[in-house]
Structure 1
Amino acid sequence: MELKGVPQLAGTLAWIATSALQYGFHIAALNSLLDSLACNTTFPRRGLFGESSCVEMSAAETGIVTSFYTVGGLAASLSAGAMIERWGKKGTAVRSAAVIVLGACAVAFGSYLWVLVLGRVLIGMSCGIATVLVPLYLSSVAPPALAGNIGILTQISINVGIFAAQASSIPLSTPGTGLWRTVPLISVAVAVAQILTSPLVPEPHAAPKPGRVFDVEDEERTPLATDDNGEFLRSTRVAIQKKLTHAVPSMSVMEVLRSSDPAVKRALWTLVATMLFQQFSGINAVMYYSTSILTAVNPANAKSVSLFVTVVNLVMTLPTVYLIDRLGRRSLLVISLTAMCVSTAILGWSINQSHFLVASAGIIAFVVSFAIGLGPIPFVLVGELPPKEASSSTASIAVAVNWTSNLVVGVAFLPLRDWLAGSDGKNSGTVFYVFTALTAIGAVVVGRLVR
């Protein structure tokens, strides 16, 4: 790639990374806002400008609003491939940003439960597209020598979004003001900026028609590195044509599920297991509700610790770039799950005993354990494990499992916590023992499946 292409490449990476950032933003967008989002009897029902300052919701309904974006995410992730085929990668990204504008506006201005749920579903649709689109887009524009480094940008962008949501929501979470509505409007502004700047971004080379499979290297990786006439490099085009000539028919989702090929079956069940335990570890319960969790122990400092947790989540993703090829995928996954098992046990005990400092340390240890292995590696395995002819369909199944389990955890966490806490609510940490058991099982299962 010529030097003149570097600024354009950097701009393109920043532009598409915005889609992944939005996914992370809406994981944590309501975390610190729950106390001001749901109405209670201690503050006024009208905000600064006459709008409703809150929405009538029970704890279970709050959980539905928080997590129901996974419904849209599940549906959209399964159909993202068809969208990319129809509109191209850039066109799909622009339409995805438009959907998030609609969804975030519904959350920002809605005063009824069903409006907020609809908004979260629309937001989820955009985020579901992003989980499929962003890695493909990055691989399309990345020069071969930088493909690995650029590939980690997806996870980094998600974590930046989580931090941005937590940092912006804390000063806007005062009950009775209605200022919580500003947080989704931040997402609207980012999406509008992405749409308006889209003419400045090149369209990556089109993927082959359905029924053909090829590596990310088969796609033109150098759309930004052009000759003096602005044409794509001839050698790259010739190489693509040769590879497509020998392309192999791809397998459908049903063919993957019914396959008796040991390689296909092993890849499928390994990916399903890693995606399942990624969500059943409880990570998104912490990202959704860390403020609510710590408020039960120390209301004064809960939001500050929750913000620090997002910083740790972002920073601790970076060492994985160095460790993944030195310790290996399996070792990092087993270490990650084992450490999460221990940290959730400590977290549950410390919350029940009202030890705020220990509980804060437990959440931080939990997030660090996730960031070094169980966070980024499942998505790395998606691109490595399946045979080429089964790669796209296996990835769709794995992502669907991820979104489904995310939904289950998001909806069930608050009611399960309240039920296990007892009538007096003093044992609200008991729910984390459930995650202790699940991560212990995960360490054994993943350790046996991943090689």
Structure 2
Amino acid sequence: MSETEALMTPKPRVTTSLAFATLVACFGSIQYGYHMAELNAPGQVLSCSKFESPWPQTPYNETWLGKHAFKQCIELSEQQMGLATSIFSIGGLAGSLYAGKLADRYGRKRYSFFNCIIGILGSLILFRANTYAQLVTGRFIVGVCCGSSIVVTPLFISEMSPKELRGSLGSMNQVCINLGILLTQLLALKYADSYRWRWIMLAGAALALINLMLLYKIDESPLWLASQGNLEGAESVLRDLRGGDSRRSRDEVDEWLTARGFSRNSNTYAAARESSPLNTPASQQSSLQTSRDSHSTLSLVQYFTDPRYAKSRWAVTAILMSQQFCGINSIIFYGVKVVSGQLPQYAILVNFAISILNVLVTFGASFIIDHWGRRPLLIASASAMSVATAFVSAGIVANNAVVLVTFTFIYVAVFAIGLGPIPFLVISELSPPEASGIAQSYGTTCNWVATFIVGYGFPLLSQQLNGYVFLLFTAYAAGFAVYVWFKIPETKGKQQEQLRWRE
């Protein structure tokens, strides 16, 4: 496209079709947020460490659940509760490892159908769990579903979005994760008691079922269709997403082909497609795990041994693990228990308010990510989290509920403007095009490992250190802010060759 034509081309906009398709794709993120936080509020009544009856005059065995042999609670130790909570991360890791390949092979939409069925199965097992083993099994299975979703959802959004809106629409992934957390806390206001906590588990199955039905209303990823050689289908989907703009749709497909060393009628493209019975499946973000020069798949060994990927790999490792090591899941997983030490009667309500704040700030952050840039927001977010966790610690140690609640709110809010939405967004921006798919899988793996460490380790450390455990997050967040300042380049609007890496 010439410069004159580019100036005459209208700026991309969020059409109704694009907005709806993004919402449906983000339902996987809603499920992720929901299951991540589903044990937070009912954890104490579920594990028999606390008893709350909504109907003091009615014995549990006379309720519908009691009559159908569902136990009132599952007796768990702190260590068992920590594993039941954090095994979700191991399932998530397993799901994220195979999700990219299966989504490449069968398509984003078809794979999402399958993933919803896994989510329904896991939620039903949680609803029916009467033993520790059943609870852990259900958490692992919903973790598999959510691990897959966290890979496929940003992929789906990225491949549907105009490049000018990719940052803003991509941040909707994090917004919807927080909506899922909010929904869990909303249901907990009514159902997090000794009689009705199982209905919170069953609601996860309803979410997956709604997601499955909505998938019938959207099209397959246009870039996945193009990777299968269906250029006409890709252009047709893009026309619908772009409000009928045929020229922009064709240009986007041509741009995608050119960026990977192909042309619409090239023999190289035809040969690359025919080299596999599956027509060269697509990969995360780039939609094709091929080198621009050789069109060969980048192996995991090459990713770890080739010095060209060393800086980006270390950056991805640091950012994706630090998102968790700054401690946010101490609140997402255990916030009700943390607050209940100071405000036992209002802990669930406080966590509901925290979830509302989280959604609002994350949504607001979606409008500034493409304006302020990734690096400044990461530094500001981590620095503010360091200060906030120091005061959270002080509030717990000094038994000061006002300080604890105030700085917990601040802690969650400053996470939502930077460390929440940015890490998964910058993986592909930091990585060379041919490595973006494998980098996405690697970064997601790092994130799940860190999530498990925090989820399993926090309750054990909290028993030993009480409120001082948050000072560990204070030190880590401060160190991460310094690391980003000295080591991480800005990626907003820059090509790979324009990134300024620091030694």
Equivalent position to 1:48, from 55, 60, 63:
63
User: What is the percentage of aligned positions where both structures have the same residue?
Assistant: 29
Equivalent position to 1:430, from 446, 463, 468:
468
Q: Spell out, residue by residue over 1:200-229, the C-alpha distance to the aligned partner (whole angstroms, 9 max, x if none).
A: 22112353899x9xxxxx99971625999x
Equivalent position to 1:407, from 446, 452, 456:
452
TM-score for the superposition, normalised by structure 2: 0.80
Q: Which runs of 5+ in 2 are unaligned?
A: 1-9, 53-58, 229-233, 263-291, 490-503
User: Conserved in 1, the CA contact under 8 Å of 2:18 and 2:242?
Assistant: no
- TM-superposed CA distance for 1:134, in Å, is 0.6
Within 5 Å, which residues of 2 pair with 1:89-238?
A: 89-175=108-194, 177=195, 179-205=196-222, 207=224, 222=238, 224-225=240-241, 236-238=252-254
Equivalent position to 1:36, from 22, 26, 45:
45
Q: Spell out, residue by residue over 1:343-399, the C-alpha distance to the aligned partner (whole angstroms, 9 max, x if none).
A: 111111111111011100111111112111111111221121111111111221111
1:384 and 2:429 correspond: yes
Report the Cα distance in structure 2 between the residues aligned to 1:154 and 1:296, rounded to whole angstroms.
32
Equivalent position to 2:320, from 263, 272, 275:
275
Q: Which runs of 5+ in 1 are unaligned?
A: 213-217, 421-427
Distance verdict in 2 for CA 1:311–1:47, change over 3 Å: farther
Name the stretch that deviates more: 237-246 or 393-402: 237-246
Aligned length: 432
User: Conserved in 2, the CA contact under 8 Å of 1:144 and 1:221?
Assistant: no
Partner-residue secondary structure (3-state), 1:345: helix
Distance verdict in 2 for CA 1:365–1:111, change over 3 Å: same
Report the Cα distance in structure 2 between the residues aligned to 1:324 and 1:8, rounded to whole angstroms.
23
Report the Cα distance in structure 2 between the residues aligned to 1:312 and 1:448, rounded to whole angstroms.
31
Report the Cα distance in structure 2 between the residues aligned to 1:323 and 1:233, rounded to whole angstroms.
27
- TM-superposed CA distance for 1:46, in Å, is 4.6
| Residue in structure 2 matched with residue 372 of structure 1 by the alignment | 417
User: Conserved in 2, the CA contact under 8 Å of 1:204 and 1:220?
Assistant: no
Within 5 Å, which residues of 2 pair with 1:300-315?
A: 300-315=345-360
Report the Cα distance in structure 1 between the residues aligned to 2:79 and 2:60, rounded to whole angstroms.
21
1:393 and 2:438 correspond: yes
| Residue in structure 2 matched with residue 71 of structure 1 by the alignment | 90
Report the Cα distance in structure 2 between the residues aligned to 1:70 and 1:38, rounded to whole angstroms.
20
CA RMSD for the aligned pairs? 2.8
- TM-superposed CA distance for 1:241, in Å, is 4.5
Report the Cα distance in structure 2 between the residues aligned to 1:120 and 1:142, rounded to whole angstroms.
32
Partner-residue secondary structure (3-state), 2:107: helix
Q: Which structure has the greater CA radius of gyration? A: 2
Within 5 Å, which residues of 2 pair with 1:216-365?
A: 222=238, 224-225=240-241, 236-246=252-262, 247-248=292-293, 249-261=296-308, 264-365=309-410
TM-score for the superposition, normalised by structure 1: 0.88
- TM-superposed CA distance for 1:321, in Å, is 3.0
- TM-superposed CA distance for 1:239, in Å, is 4.8
Report the Cα distance in structure 2 between the residues aligned to 1:59 and 1:340, rounded to whole angstroms.
27
Q: Which amino acid is 2:389 matched to?
A: T
Distance verdict in 2 for CA 1:242–1:40, change over 3 Å: closer
Report the Cα distance in structure 2 between the residues aligned to 1:8 and 1:112, rounded to whole angstroms.
45
Distance verdict in 2 for CA 1:153–1:325, change over 3 Å: closer
